[in-house]
Amino acid sequence: MKKYNPFHLVELSPWPLITSLSVMSFGLSVIIMVRCFNVLPFLFSLLFILISSYFWGRDVHREGCYEGAHNSEVFGGFKLGMIFFILSECFFFLGMFWGYLHLAEAPAVELGGLWPPLGVTPFDPKGIPFLNTVLLVSSGVSVTWSHHAMEEGNFNVSSMALFITVVLGGTFTSLQLLEYYVAAFTFSCSSYSSVYFMGTGFHGLHVIIGSVLLIICFFRFSNLFISPYHSAGYECSVWYWHFVDVVWFFLYLVFYWWGC
């Protein structure tokens, strides 16, 4: 039965509660993994997050594509929710930058009074970090190209540009892992290394999440589930990817260029 009203009325669902509890257990399991070297809670909580996210997304997809429950008012609610989510993420990374700049402006005596600390060899900003910057800027161009092509109804070009974006994002993640592998310092070496791995690591996690969202959009393109009049999820994914690009730009300037 169709709902002829401007409200987002959906069936009762257990997935929001299960996903919230899974995310909370995920954070606790990370602490357990770091402190007690026990990986099992982390793997179980990650599995529950993936399962609950899949079934929740499946239900939302069914509401919009098969039940017709997503009208213009619902689309507006989705986009507003994504805006608030991105704002919350901005403040999350603001804390990372605040901590980094606070430590850099007044390095402790234990660090040799220097930033980066004495004995820590930072990365060359003209090496892998610069290449990753070029990759993410290029991915921002390609995802914008995909968005404009979709609005014009050119779905083949839009899918191709989206595929290019996913490849660039995957290359960025691979180079970030290579950077961690060849790093001359570890997470516990100093406050510099801790805040470096926290900032770049959480950004890398956001890149992976953004890549997964774009991959889902790519398969939805293949099944013709996205159109200029039915593209709220796709547009939110594009916004999220642009957010990832902007955060990396500031990370590169502060963590790699200014901080080194």
Residues of the chain with pLDDT under 70: 1-10, 109-112
46 and 85 housed in the same domain: no
Structure tokens at 260: 């080194």
End-to-end CA distance of the chain: 61
CATH assignment at residue 64: 1.10.287.70
Tell which of 55, 70, 85 closes a domain.
Answer: 70
Looking at the whole model, is its pTM more than 0.75? yes
178 and 104 housed in the same domain: yes
Q: How many structural domains does the chain have? A: 2
Q: Which domain holds residue 38?
A: 1-70
210 and 131 housed in the same domain: yes
- Whole-number pLDDT of residue 163: 93
Q: How far is Cα 170 from Cα 166, in angstroms, rounded to an integer?
A: 6
C-alpha torsion sign, points 137, 142, 146, 149:
positive
Decide: 140 and 168 in contact? Cβ < 8 Å: no
Give residue-wise pLDDT tens across range 206-257. 999 999 999 988 888 777 777 777 777 889 999 999 999 999 999 999 999 8
- Whole-number pLDDT of residue 231: 77
Structure tokens at 120: 């820590």
162 and 245 housed in the same domain: yes
Beta bridge partner(s), residue 227: 230
Give residue-wise pLDDT tens across range 128-137. 999 999 999 9
CATH assignment at residue 95: 1.20.120.80
Tell which of 49, 70, 91 closes a domain.
Answer: 70
57 and 77 housed in the same domain: no
Tell which of 43, 70, 97 closes a domain.
Answer: 70
Task: Give the percent of the chain with pLDDT over 70.
Answer: 94
